[in-house]
Chains A and B, each alone.
Chain A
Amino acid sequence: METSLNNVAFGRQRGLRICVGASAGGHMNELLRLLEVSQDWPEPPSFYVTTMEELAGKLRQRGPVYVIGECNRQHPLKAFGVLIRSLKVAIRGRPDVVITTGSLPLAIVCLCARLTGAKITWIDSIANIERFSLSGRMMRHFADLFLTQWPELAERYPNVEYVGAII
C-alpha cells in the first residue's frame, strides 16, 4: 500500500511520456509510416520533434511539436543551436522514452533525454545499407532498443535487431 502511495506521490502512475522524432526527408517519411501502424502502442506519443518548420505543420495535427533545426558534422556551429534546443526538449518535454528514425539532430535529442532518464529506441534509416551512419554508430552504445531495416546489418552487430523494414 505504502509503495503504491509513493508511486502516486512521485507521479509514476501516469502513462509513459513518449517523444517521437525525425529529421526532415527520408527519416520523417519512415517515422510517419511507422506512426500510421502504431495504434496499439500503450500510449500515443505525447509530443514530436523535427528539424524543419516546413514539416512541423503536418505533425501539429497530431500534437505539440518542437523544431530543433538542422545540423550535420560539417556544420559544428549549427550543432550548438541544436544542442540548446534539444536540452529544452528534454527538460520541458520530460520524455520517458524517445523513439526516432534519426538523424544526427535527433541523436542529440536522444543523448539529452537520456541525461534526464529517458529510454531510447533508435530505428536506423533504411538508407544505411552497408554500414550505419555516424549517428547510428554512436547511438548503438546508448540505445535501449536498436533496430536496423536490413538483416545483413543485424547479423554483423550485437544488440542490433532486425524485425522488418518500415518502407
Chain B
Amino acid sequence: MIFLTVGTYPLQFDRLVKAIDTEVTNGPIEEEVFAQIGFCTYRPQNMEYVEMLPKESFDRYFREASGIISHAGIGTIKMALDSNKPLLTMPRQKKYGEVVNNHQVATARRFEELGHILVAYDVQDLPDGIKKLKDFVPRKRVANPEAVSDRIRRFLEELRESRRR
C-alpha cells in the first residue's frame, strides 16, 4: 500500500491528489493507494480516501505503507526519516493557492540534496518519482534536539534567577 497525505496544512492541494488519482488507473502505480486529502476539494475516484485521520490511525497507515507520497511538509518528511520510509514529495506552491509562500520548494530542494527524499517539482515529474520510490533508500539524518533543549534550559534558568532577585 502507498499512503498519500497532503498533511494538515489548512489549504487545498488538489493538484497532487488529482494527479495520483489519475496515476492509479493509467500510470506506474502497482499498489493500492490510500489517501488523507485534508482540505482538498477534489474527491478521488480511483482510490480510498479520508479527509483527516486521528493521529493513531495516521501513524498506522504510515507504518504499514511501503512508500509515502506527500506534500513537502516538514512533519511528513521527519516521520518518513524516523521510520526509514521512502518518501516522494511534491512541494505546495503559492501560485496555485496551496500555501502562503513557497517555503516547501526550498525544503524539498534541501532535503533532496541531502539524499533524504525524492521530489517531483511538478505534476509531470510524478510518474518518474513513483518509479524511483520503490527502490529509494533514504539517507539517515543527524539532528541535535538535545542542544536546542539545553539552550532553552539555560534561558529558563536565567529567567527563574532574574525573577527571584
Contacts and interface: CB of A to CB of B under 8 A. Distances in A.
A157 interface: no
Contacts of B123: none
Nearest to A70: B10
A163 interface: yes
Contact of A96 (B10, B157, B159): B159
A72 interface: yes
Interface stretch (B22-30, B61-69, B97-105, B129-137): B97-105
A49 to B, nearest CB: 16
Interface residues of B, number: 42
Chain A at the B interface: SS class: loop
B100 A74 contact: yes
Chain B at the A interface: SS class: helix
A161 B78 CA distance: 22
Contacts of A99: 152
A91 B65 CA distance: 44
A18 B103 contact: no
A40 interface: yes
B79 interface: yes
B144 interface: yes
Contacts of A116: none
Contacts of A41: 149, 152-153, 156
Interface in B35-90: 52, 54-55, 73-79, 81
Contacts of B11: 72, 74
Given A121-B152, A167-B78, A133 B157 contact: no
Interface in A97-154: 97, 99, 119, 121, 123, 125-130, 133-134, 144-145, 147, 149
B78 A26 contact: yes
Given A12-B164, A54-B52, A133-B103, A147 B148 contact: yes
B93 interface: no
Contacts of B95: none
A167 B107 CA distance: 13
Given A28-B75, A43-B156, A72-B10, A129 B107 contact: yes
A33 interface: yes
Which of B10, B54, B101, B106 is most buried by chain A, counting CB atoms within 10 A of its CB? Answer: B10
A37 interface: yes
Contacts of A125: 74
Contacts of A40: 149-150, 153
Q: Which 5 interchain pairs have the tightest Cβ spacing? A: A164-B144, A26-B74, A164-B147, A26-B75, A24-B8
19 contacts: A12-B163, A12-B164, A13-B164, A16-B156, A16-B163, A25-B7, A25-B75, A29-B74, A34-B145, A41-B153, A43-B156, A73-B100, A97-B156, A121-B152, A127-B107, A128-B103, A129-B106, A145-B152, A164-B143
